[in-house]
Amino acid sequence: QVQLVESGGGFVQTGGSLRLSCEASGSTFGISFTGWYRQAPGKQRELVAVVREGGATNYADSVKGRFTISGDNAKNTVYLQMNSLEPEDTAMYYCGVIRLGKQFWGQGTQVTVSS
């Protein structure tokens, strides 16, 4: 089992920045995929950014150039640096990992961007 705890969400004005953290614990060996997802009210959960085993990253078109995903293996933590935030970025942000073919989720952290 993998436990994931997100933190760093909050309330920010348009153009502001936040850094989200996702700390993994438990059986973390074998994690091959770590992603940040978000879900706004009434919308489906969408993938925002991913980092794969080996370090390759991908981003949703809507956040390219503004968000950066990174990791600290020593701390079992993945970060999402979010810059130039827009009201459309308002959502609950979740960390999700895949380990040995099984998906695990954190509880989410709320990001609210005011106009």
50-68 pLDDT tens trace: 998 888 999 999 999 999 9
**What's the rounded mean pLDDT across residues 85-100?**
96
Short-list 34, 57, 35, 32, CA closest to 46: 35
Chain centroid to CA 24: 12
- Mean pLDDT score, 77-90: 97
Under DSSP, is residue 88 helix (H, G, I), strand (E, B) or coil? Answer: helix
Question: 88 CB contacts (<8 Å, ≥6 apart)?
Answer: 62, 113
Q: At residue 88, does pLDDT exceed 90?
A: yes
What pLDDT is attached to residue 18? 98
The rounded distance, in Å, linking the Cα atoms of 11 and 64 is 21
